[in-house]
């Protein structure tokens, strides 16, 4: 343990971290927008009574859950342009890739939330003459969303962590900026340690909040 | 309204997968009539009520609410096809259903539960819907619980609120599926009292219940169901006093022990 820590270096190059954090935030917001909107749509489709609505959504979810996200990212960045002729930049590719991946998990959270509402609620809504869509909107979803919030927050924390994978597409997010910095300073221990702490500080509050909410709502029904 | 029957069921069959749950049910309920369904657990009483409200699709036969087929319509070729969601909902809105487990909407207050149907289904304004809803809640004895949430109520209060919610749609008929089975014994009476009032007011009712005393008292007709078939049906004093079928007699001996 004779290593001489030199954390001053992190402070000296703080600009690099801020820059990286900005890109990480961009990636997070972009991926989150895709993940939530697509995930909600997929989750609703998976809860549908109609087979040809349900099956494609199920296929999507299983496909994205059973392949590594790294493979999905490089596929979108390198293979998709060849097939489609559309070349997205590396930041957009990473955001789309992470968003598409996370959407599969959001869809599952959404479906599980809807499924967790007792069947009697839909029965009661129908029995007073509500149509399926109205029953979903006014009776099922408002109850389900509450149960979905804690797992959603967890998924959000996961998504922030996944943005580090942008580094393989040379996106200048936190991890990639850190690696650049190490190449200049030869101080991997300080830089990686600082990076880990930065992520922990960002993510821990969300995980804590999720656990608190879960406990709070378990008690209050 | 015409003078025909309120509810007609003809040749009704229902399967759950390979399980043949209803095996040819025929019944006619007149307007203002109270029909009580009795029979052992698993005989198909709930399923029959759920089919009538089209909460379950039935496989064969016909169910009519007044002159309207429930859940199906005849296409150009004269074949029965599943009706559209909107049409099914319109028919359902004309029947009230009360469940064993109440099924109040837990995220809404008692008053909001009751006006949900009038506002969302009938398109009334909130302000229009509230006075009659309050009157109904008064009638079931819940004037002081308008703004309570279901979890803050006793089982008996919840069930009375659920009855008010169904009545708010001004239904032509009410279906009760063991409305007191999940209540503590001391809370059963208050719910039965509300149902008694409804019957006295001439509401058409089909009631599945294990409360034999209540059945005898409230029923115009009692129908014994077993294994998805009607064993017999008749006036309560006949069914309870001198059942024609041995299966009915045996069932009554068992529940009265
Ligand atoms: N959703 C379902 N899926 C499969 N089988 C079902 C379903 N609902 C009911 N059944 C079966 O159908 C049969 C009739 O059930 P039903 O609930 O109609 O009986 P019941 O007369 O209401 O009984 P109880 O007095 O216990 O309420 C039972 O064998 C039951 O297990
Ligand atoms: Mg039952």
Q: What digits encode the pLDDT tens for the residues B149-205?
A: 999 999 999 999 999 999 999 999 999 999 999 999 999 999 999 999 999 999 999
Q: Helices (H) and strands (E) in chain B — how many of each? A: 9, 12
Residue whose C-alpha is closest to residue A134's, from B59, B89, B21: B89
Express each pLDDT in B124-148 by its tens digit: 999 999 999 999 999 999 999 999 9
Average predicted confidence (pLDDT) for chain B: 95
Distance B238 CA to ligand 1 centre (A): 27
- Does residue B256 surpass a pLDDT of 90? no
- b/e code B146-182 from CB counts within 10 Å (16+ = b): bebbbeebebbbbbbbbbbbbbbbebbbbbbbbbbee
Distance B44 CA to ligand 2 centre (A): 7
Using a CB-CB distance cutoff of 8 angstroms, which residues of chain B are in contact with residue A124? 97, 99, 103-105, 162, 165
Cβ <8 Å between B103 and A143: no
Searching chain B, which residue's CA lies closest to the CA of residue A123?
B55
* Mean pLDDT, 10 residues at a time, chain A of 221 residues: 84 89 93 95 90 94 95 92 87 94 96 94 98 94 89 93 90 90 91 91 89 75 48
Where do the domains of chain A lie?
8-220
The number of the ligand nearest the C-alpha atom of B21 reads 1
Express each pLDDT in B52-73 by its tens digit: 999 999 999 999 999 999 999 9
Report the percentage of chain B scoring pLDDT > 70. Answer: 99
- For atom 16 of ligand 1, the residue with the nearest CA is B44
Question: CB of B44 closer than 6 A to ligand 1?
Answer: yes
For residue B19 the two structure tokens come to 């399980």
Question: CB of B21 closer than 6 A to ligand 1?
Answer: yes
Cα A78 to chain centroid distance, Å, stands at: 22
- Match domain A8-220 to its CATH number in 1.10.3720.10, 2.40.30.330, 1.10.357.10, 1.10.540.10: 1.10.3720.10
Express each pLDDT in A44-70 by its tens digit: 999 888 889 999 999 999 999 999 999
Q: What pLDDT does residue B3 have? A: 72
Cα A194 to chain centroid distance, Å, stands at: 23
Beta carbons within 8 Å of B5's beta carbon, 6+ residues apart: B28, B29, B30, B31, B64, B66
Q: List CB-based neighbours of ion ligand 2 within 5 Å.
A: B 46
Distance from CA of A220 to the nearest CA of B (A): 10
pTM: 0.85
B123 CB near a chain A CB, below 8 Å? no
Nearest to A142 among B107, B162, B165 (CB): B107
Q: What pLDDT does residue A147 have? A: 86
B86 CB near a chain A CB, below 8 Å? yes
Q: Which DSSP string do the residues of B169-227 spell out, in sequence order?
A: T--SEEEEESTTTTS-HHHHHHHHHHHHHHHHTT-EEEEE-S-HHHHHHH-SEEEEEET
The number of the ligand nearest the C-alpha atom of B41 reads 1
């Amino acid at each position: 343990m004779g290593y001489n820590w030199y954390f001053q270096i992190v402070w000296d190059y703080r600009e690099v971290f801020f820059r990286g954090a900005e890109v990480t935030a961009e990636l997070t917001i972009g991926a989150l927008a895709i993940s939530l909107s697509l995930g909600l749509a997929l989750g609703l489709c998976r809860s549908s009574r109609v087979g040809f609505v349900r099956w494609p959504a199920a296929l999507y979810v299983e496909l994205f859950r059973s392949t590594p996200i790294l493979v999905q990212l490089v596929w979108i960045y390198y293979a998709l342009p060849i097939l489609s002729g559309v070349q997205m930049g590396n930041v957009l590719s990473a955001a789309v890739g992470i968003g598409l991946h996370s959407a599969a998990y959001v869809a599952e959270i959404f479906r599980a939330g809807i499924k967790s509402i007792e069947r009697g609620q839909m029965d009661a809504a129908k029995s007073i003459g509500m149509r399926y869509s109205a029953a979903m909107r006014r009776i099922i979803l408002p109850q389900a969303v509450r149960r979905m919030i804690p797992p959603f927050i967890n998924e959000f924390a996961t998504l922030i962590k996944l943005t580090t994978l942008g580094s393989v597409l040379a996106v200048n997010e936190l991890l990639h900026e850190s690696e650049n910095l190490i190449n200049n300073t030869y101080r991997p221990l300080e830089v990686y340690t600082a990076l880990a702490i930065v992520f922990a500080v960002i993510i821990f509050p969300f995980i804590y909040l999720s656990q608190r909410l879960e406990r709070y709502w378990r008690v209050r029904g | 309204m015409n003078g025909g029957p309120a509810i007609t069921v003809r040749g009704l069959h229902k399967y759950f997968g390979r399980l043949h749950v209803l095996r040819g049910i025929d019944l006619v309920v007149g307007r203002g009539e109270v029909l009580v369904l009795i029979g052992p657990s698993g005989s198909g009483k709930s399923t029959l009520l759920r089919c009538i409200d089209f909460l379950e699709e039935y496989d064969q036969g016909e169910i009519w609410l007044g002159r309207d087929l429930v859940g199906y319509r005849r296409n150009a070729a004269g074949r029965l096809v599943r009706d559209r969601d909107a049409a099914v909902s319109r028919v359902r809105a004309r029947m009230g259903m009360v469940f064993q487990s109440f099924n109040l909407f837990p995220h809404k207050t008692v008053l909001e539960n009751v006006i949900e149907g009038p506002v969302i289904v009938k398109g009334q304004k909130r302000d229009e819907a509230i006075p009659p809803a309050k009157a109904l809640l008064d009638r079931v004895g819940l004037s002081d619980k308008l703004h309570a949430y279901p979890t803050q109520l006793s089982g008996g209060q919840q069930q009375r609120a659920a009855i008010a919610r169904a009545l708010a749609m001004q239904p032509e008929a009410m279906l009760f599926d063991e409305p007191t089975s999940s209540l503590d014994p001391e809370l059963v009476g208050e719910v039965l009292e509300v149902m008694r009032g409804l019957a006295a007011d001439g509401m058409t009712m089909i009631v599945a219940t294990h409360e034999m005393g209540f059945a005898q008292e409230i029923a115009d007709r009692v129908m014994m169901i077993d294994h998805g078939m009607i064993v017999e049906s008749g006036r309560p004093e006949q069914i309870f006093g001198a059942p024609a079928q041995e299966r009915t007699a045996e069932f009554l001996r068992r529940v009265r022990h």
